[in-house]
Amino acid sequence: MTIRPIVRYPDRRLALPARPVTVFDDALRELAQDLLDTMRAAPGIGITAPHIGVPLRVVVLELDAKDGPQTYVNPEITWASSEMIMHREGSVSMPGVNDEVQRHARVRISYSDLDGNMHTEESDGLRAVCHQHEIDQLDGVFWIQRLSRLKRERLVKRFEKMARNS
């Protein structure tokens, strides 16, 4: 079990697009396990490799104990519904702050598993929000960029104040 340090906002690595995974090996499986351990310790329900400073397109989600963790390698949104929903979001890289973000209500993604096998998955609700949130991060789009400038500035000030006081 390896809990890795989490890259904190406003680290510029969070704004860089992640590279596709091209090698499916034990190192990738170890990265996925480290992501899961780090996410659980944070705590969080989703994490990407860039959150721990690794610029690869890997996401781990664990939305409930019954379904367990799911690893997505090179995920891409292939379809999104026109219906939109609002959902409260935050990040392990910016703990203690969150806000409502507008997202597509349903999405379809394609991705590889840890063995390189291709899959598609349709999701709605929280899982769809998480897919969009984490794929944004892989694309170098931090979640607060989805907020209005005013909301974003207020959140950043609140986060900076919390960081100074801790």
CA 7 to chain centre: 13
User: In what helix (H) or strand (E) does residue 157 lie, and over which residues does it extend?
Assistant: helix 149-165
Residue keyed to tokens 């499916």? 24
**Alpha-carbon gap, residue 112 to 74, rounded angstroms:** 6
- Active site (catalytic) residues: 134
**Alpha-carbon gap, residue 10 to 83, rounded angstroms:** 31
CA 96 to chain centre: 16
Query: Which own/partner contact pairs does 99-102 have at CB distance under 8 Å and 24+ positions apart?
Result: 99/144, 99/147, 99/151, 99/155, 101/129, 101/133, 101/143, 101/146, 101/147, 102/146
